[in-house]
Amino acid sequence: MTTSDIVSAAKLSEEGKTLAASEPGPTRFVQLLESRGLFKDAIQFLTHGLPIEVSIRWGCTVMRELLGEEELRASTEALEAAERWLETPGDEARWRAKSAAEKSGMSLPPDLIAMAAFFSGASVTPVDTPPTAPPIYVANRMAANAIQLAVLSRHPEKAPERYRRALQIGRQVVKPNPK
């Protein structure tokens, strides 16, 4: 996908779209968005440009670092279900992620990341029924929204700093540091 393709899929702000008009490469475009404080656009762009598994891994990592203990406790099952799906992708793990998200109330960022795992599959209907594809990009949008909610859920006055940390985590997930 080109920068233009990803921008179209991610439904960026008008300012983000304007920055994309010069067709910078994806890495440069994320840098431009971040330097202008367009953090939501940067997260949307990345989650739509990366393979969904990578976006969900990024989201899980952000949850572990940026959420408070109370939020993590309240939705541990959903977060762990998403992480299990990453370890062993497949329909059984997807449906477990959906069940865990629904059980915890669908109200916290880990619930959204678990639902992103669920919507990453080929069908959202049970095995015994005709397959129905999920809406296009819904898993990507859920991953992006989960990351954004995790950023804003605590210390909203520190949102720019927390957005930068979330984007840094994203870069580390995409290109892990060699050990």
Mind listing the pLDDT tens digit for each residue in 7-57?
A: 999 999 999 999 999 989 999 999 999 999 999 999 999 999 999 999 999
Asked if residue 167 lies in contact with residue 42, where contact means CB atoms within 8 angstroms, the answer is yes
CA 35, CA 47: separation in Å to the nearest integer?
18
Question: What pLDDT shows up at residue 138?
Answer: 97
Where residue 177 falls among pLDDT bands split at 50, 70, 90? low
> How confident is the model over 154-160, as a mean pLDDT?
95
pLDDT value at 1 more than 90 = no
107-153: per-residue pLDDT in tens? 999 999 999 999 999 999 998 999 999 999 999 999 999 999 999 99
Dihedral angle sign, alpha carbons of residues 106, 111, 112, 115: negative
Dihedral pair phi/psi, residue 131, rounded to 5°:
-65, 145
